[in-house]
Amino acid sequence: MVQTMNDVKHIQVDAESHLELVRELDIRSTPTTIFINKDGIEVGRAAGTPKREQVLEALEAIR
């Protein structure tokens, strides 16, 4: 869905092969979606699969 937005990049990370990162970011379950703004700062996160509207809302808030 974010493929249609050319100003948004979606990266998926396998939690198990990055456990250090998991601890650092305090990821407790998979999947966890973290929204990062253009300055590289986390502005929101969703544990579990987020709904389409939630993703749109979160992205709208960043822009």
Partner 1 sequence: MSEILNKPEVAKIYIDARGPRFGAAITTTVLAIALVTQSTWLLAVQGLVFFIGAVRGPQFTPYAFIFKTLVKPRLKKEAPTEDVRPPKFAQAVGFGFALVGVLGAVAGSSAVFTVAVGMALAAAFLNAAFNYCLGCEMYLLGLRFTSK
Q: Per rule CB under 8 A, is residue 15 in the interface with partner 1?
A: yes
When asked if residue 10 is in the footprint of partner 1 (CB under 8 A), the reply is yes
Give which of 11, 9, 13, 12 is closest to 38, Cα–Cα: 9
The Cα–Cα gap between 24 and 57 comes to 26
Q: What is the DSSP letter of 3?
A: G
Q: Give the total of residues touching partner 1 (CB under 8 A).
A: 19
The residue (of 6 and 39) whose beta carbon lies closer to partner 1 is 6
Sites of contact with partner 1 (CB under 8 A): 1-3, 10-16, 19, 22-23, 27-31, 49
